[in-house]
Amino acid sequence: MLINIDPLLNPDLLSILRSMGHGDYITLCDANFPATTLGKRLVRIDGADIKRATKAILSVFPLDSFIEYPVTRMEIDGKPYAINDAHKEFIETVKNTAGPNWKIGSIERSEFYQKAKESFAIIVTADQRPYCCFMM
């Protein structure tokens, strides 16, 4: 039994986060992301949206400070600079949980899918908002 660990962090997710090192990244995505097709390691957090999952993960997961964009978001097709409500919520959660100085980058959708294949793991949430996909 553990104390002070967010109950959303199930044993599989904790094991993945603990196994990661510098340069490794996870993909955190919405319920519509083709995670099973793309990922080798897959964890489902069916009871949580992106905000809740991000807060739980960042309670134990340090971001790499030596890269320009330790956090990235999936760009909206045809609107690479647009920030939707899911993006705003995610960015606010990162800044409130991990600190205000993190730079948030963006990746075009098809490139995001390719990069997700290389991520350490893909974590699927119950969030159903479009373009609600991120990497940390």
- Please give the positions annotated as active site: 22, 64, 113
Strand 26-29 vs strand 104-107: parallel, antiparallel, or unpaired?
Answer: unpaired
Which one, of 59, 64, 62, 45, lies nearest residue 105 by Cα? 64
- Which residues are bridge partners to 124 per DSSP? 29, 44
Tokens standing for residue 75: 């760009």
3-state helix, strand, coil in the chain (%, to 5): 35, 20, 50
